């Protein structure tokens, strides 16, 4: 008997939800059941998440402490961020740090150059020699970049023009205004 009912229902028009009448357009979109289901599912998911977090907060150990708790704070939107470092460096301190970096790179470059010379003397493996040459070339490029950076920070020297921009493998090339030595 039910199969006859189902066969009869196959020719019926499908039930559709009504649209918002013209007179009520000013009230906005008329929510359909599928819209309600999405909204309800979202609400329930957020509600269960809040319940989980609330339970987790109740189960928390009050004696628990991490040092990062001291060094971080929350924004107005509730996200955790590290506290800004209050330490300000003077230009002299920055220059000193950069010169120390420069000296370290120059030292490493010299060490690599000496190892290359030793590898040539001992006629060691070609692969190691090539690796050391590549490393020395990178350090040399980095040293030149730091020299240019320090020269650009120097207020007594003025730039005439930039001849070549900086690339991954080469330092930038600048043309400096000529100054008479006293």
In this prediction, residue 54 carries a pLDDT of 94
Tens of pLDDT, residues 56-103: 988 888 788 887 778 888 888 888 888 766 566 677 767 767 777 888
List the beta bridge partners of residue 101.
none
Radius of gyration of the CA atoms of the chain, in A: 36
Closest CA to 159 of 177, 173, 132: 177
Q: What's the pLDDT band for 149 if we cut at 50, 70, 90?
A: confident
Closest CA to 130 of 116, 142, 111, 118: 116
Quick one: tokens of 140? 């040399």
At 112, phi and psi to the nearest 5? -65, -40
Tens of pLDDT, residues 6-53: 888 778 887 788 888 999 999 988 899 999 999 999 999 999 999 999
């Amino acid at each position: 008997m039910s199969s006859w009912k189902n066969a009869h229902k196959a020719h019926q028009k499908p039930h559709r939800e009504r649209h918002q009448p013209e007179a009520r357009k000013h009230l906005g979109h008329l929510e359909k059941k599928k819209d309600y289901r999405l909204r309800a599912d979202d609400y329930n998911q957020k509600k269960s998440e809040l319940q989980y977090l609330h339970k987790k907060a109740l189960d928390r150990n009050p004696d628990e402490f991490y040092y990062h708790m001291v060094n971080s704070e929350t924004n107005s939107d509730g996200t955790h961020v590290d506290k800004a470092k209050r330490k300000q460096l003077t230009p002299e301190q920055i220059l000193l740090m950069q010169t120390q970096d420069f000296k370290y790179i120059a030292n490493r470059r010299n060490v690599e150059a000496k190892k290359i010379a030793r590898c040539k003397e001992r006629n060691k493996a070609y692969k190691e020699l090539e690796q050391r040459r590549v490393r020395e070339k990178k350090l040399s490029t980095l040293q030149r970049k730091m020299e240019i950076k320090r020269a650009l920070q120097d207020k007594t020297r003025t730039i005439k023009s930039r001849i070549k921009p900086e690339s991954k493998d080469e330092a930038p090339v600048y043309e400096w205004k000529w100054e008479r030595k006293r």
